A = this chain, B = another copy of it.
Amino acid sequence: MSIRVKILGSNSATPAHRRHHTSQLVNVEGKYYLIDCGEATQLQMKRYKLRAQRINNIFISHLHGDHYLGLMGLLSSMHLMGRHKPLNLYGPKGLAEIITLQLKYSETVFNYEVNFVEVDTEKHQLIHEDELVCIYSIPLNHRIPCSGFLIEEKPKNRRIRREAIPEDFSVRNIIRLKKGEDIYSEDGKLLHKNEDMTLPPRQSFKYAYCSDTKYDESIIPIIEGSDMLYHESTFLEEHMDRASVTYHSTAKEAATIAKKAGVGKLLLGHFSARYKELEPIQEEAREVFEESHLAIEGEEFILDS
């Protein structure tokens, strides 16, 4: 198990056809990262039996309501359910002010610390790092300041070949092996070559999330070679005029970006309420990029080796 992306919602603007607003839960080896948080995200998490308290990092792409109006409710529920663990909240200028104002009028002080990190939506830079991942902002081209997110797994440890390990082997030496080191005796004699005791590390994956944006090739160098790309595809080509004035993309445009960036797989989402049936969106994308998939809520997309 490596990166698992659970789609909690992928409709744009107004909820429709039983589809919810944008939110994705990214699970990296059991750690939860929430990306965007449209209205009712906490209800969607309950529906899919995902525990909100396991989230320690939330990333908001921009301040259109369909991407963040579920956030205040989620944060409040975390508080009411007894959270004490701090939470990191990444988003554009204004997000902290909105949350703070709502807390002021509800006369609420959370039991846990919210560490607001303002994302500069003009820059591609490292915004979050922990033991598992580095997460970078991706400047997007939308009507208001908007950032995508690139989640890169860190290189993993080499895997121990259990059958090769003597019974009296120390934990300290196991750690050395995982890091790729050879094992020496105290007087500096080579005892075990790493390659005899370990297997290569599991693959590290790269997931790029790009919503909302018009077609813009400037993101290609950033997302190039990602194992999976979520790129908004609000419209079909037949509505490209709408896409253009609203700073959104068509399915064909999303697929073109995927192809030019050489990604492994494309997830299509942020569907306009005008489309009840989504198959035409997938078909249009597949004409350009075969590995195109609909990010339908409830689906999970797994990057594994």
| A interface residues with partner B (beta carbon < 8 Å) | 13-15, 20-21, 39-40, 42-43, 46, 63-66, 69-70, 72-73, 76-77, 80-81, 92-95, 97-98, 101-102, 104-107, 143-144
- Assess whether A69 is in contact with B73, with CB atoms less than 8 Å apart: yes
* Top 4 A-B residue pairs of the complex, sorted by shortest distance between their CB atoms: A94-B105, A63-B105, A39-B73, A40-B40
The oligomer's copy count stands at 2
Q: Which of chain B's residues have a CB closer than 8 A to the CB of A73?
A: 21, 39, 65, 69
One of B40, B43, B63 near A106 (C-beta < 8 A): B63
> How long is the Cα–Cα vector from A77 to B14 in the complex, in angstroms?
5
**Nearest B residue (CB) for A273:** B80
Q: Are A14 and B81 in contact (CB under 8 A)?
A: yes
In the bound complex, do residue B70 and residue A106 qualify as a contact, i.e. CB atoms below 8 Å apart?
no
C-alpha spacing A70/B73, complex, angstroms: 9
What distance in Å separates the Cβ of A91 from its nearest Cβ neighbour in chain B? 10
Inter-chain contacts of A20 with B (CB < 8 A): 43
Contact check, B65 vs A72: say whether CB atoms are below 8 A apart. Answer: yes
